């Protein structure tokens, strides 16, 4: 339950971030790229809410895996990778936005969000659920599929006698996730769903 709670916290943070702000900061031609400095939405509470969401998702999966190696070796490795990416992005943002970025950096913490004024942030922003669906369907699919497979593994380990009876339920969840993924992908590629 703890692993699922942390995993869903990460997914929600990512979805709120994307739903509140149309993010254009990303890699372009294998280079760090940003056309504007995002300081609104959840970016006004954490400078890296998407990476925070990713780290929480990975931590949730590490706990769900019931693997000490994943929790003690792989999870810190992922945190190190994200921290390295953040340092490179901070250098880029400082060079591009100079004083504006320095002031933002002073106001807003790098990782853990400052929740002061969070209700004001939600009231001042419009949540775009279509943008969340279109930009987050792959991340959500992978996280939920991985969680389902890990829960199956745990169920098999702890309840091998009744595992066969639970297979139709697990299979239904997996088929639902795969169908949802391909339907959203089709809607996105065919431009039948736009944000």
Task: Report CA torsion sign: 156, 138, 111, 124.
Answer: negative
| Mean of pLDDT over the chain | 91
175-190 pLDDT tens trace: 999 999 999 999 999 9
- The pTM of the full predicted model, rounded to 2 decimals, is 0.87
Count how many domains the chain has.
Answer: 2
Say if residue 9 is in the same domain as residue 78.
yes
User: What would the two tokens of residue 144 be?
Assistant: 């939920």
Predicted confidence at residue 75, as pLDDT, reads 92
Predicted confidence at residue 166, as pLDDT, reads 92
User: What would the two tokens of residue 158 be?
Assistant: 């702890």
155-167 pLDDT tens trace: 999 899 889 999 9
Judge contact between 42 and 113, C-beta under 8 A. yes
End-to-end Cα, the chain, rounded Å: 33
Whether residue 52 has pLDDT greater than 60: yes
Whether residue 27 has pLDDT greater than 60: no
Range of the domain at 24: 1-120
**Overall average pLDDT of the 118-131 stretch:** 91
**Which of 82, 85, 26 lies closest to 59, judged by CA?**
82
Say if residue 135 is in the same domain as residue 115.
no
Q: For position 34, which CATH number holds? A: 1.20.120.1630
Say if residue 31 is in the same domain as residue 77.
yes
Say if residue 115 is in the same domain as residue 134.
no
- Domain closes at, from 91, 120, 149: 120
Say if residue 135 is in the same domain as residue 112.
no
Whole-Å CA distances, 79 to 41, 142, 148, 162, 167: 23, 19, 23, 37, 34
């Amino acid at each position: 339950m703890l692993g699922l709670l942390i995993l869903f916290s990460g997914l929600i943070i990512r979805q709120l971030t994307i739903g509140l702000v149309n993010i254009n900061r990303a890699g372009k031609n294998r280079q760090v790229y940003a056309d504007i400095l995002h300081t609104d939405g959840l970016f006004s509470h954490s400078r890296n809410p998407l990476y925070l969401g990713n780290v929480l998702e990975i931590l949730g999966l590490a706990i769900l895996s019931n693997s000490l190696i994943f929790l003690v070796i792989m999870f810190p490795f992922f945190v190190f990778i994200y921290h390295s990416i953040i340092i490179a992005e901070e250098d880029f943002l400082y060079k591009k936005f100079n004083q504006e970025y320095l002031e933002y950096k002073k106001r807003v913490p790098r990782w853990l969000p400052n929740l002061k004024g969070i209700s004001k942030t939600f009231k001042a922003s419009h949540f775009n659920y279509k943008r969340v669906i279109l930009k987050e369907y792959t991340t959500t699919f992978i996280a939920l599929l991985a969680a389902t497979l890990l829960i199956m593994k745990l169920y098999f380990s702890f309840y091998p006698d009744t595992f066969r009876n639970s297979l139709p339920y697990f299979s239904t969840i997996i088929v639902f996730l795969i169908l949802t993924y391909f339907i959203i992908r089709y809607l996105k590629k065919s431009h039948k769903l736009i944000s």
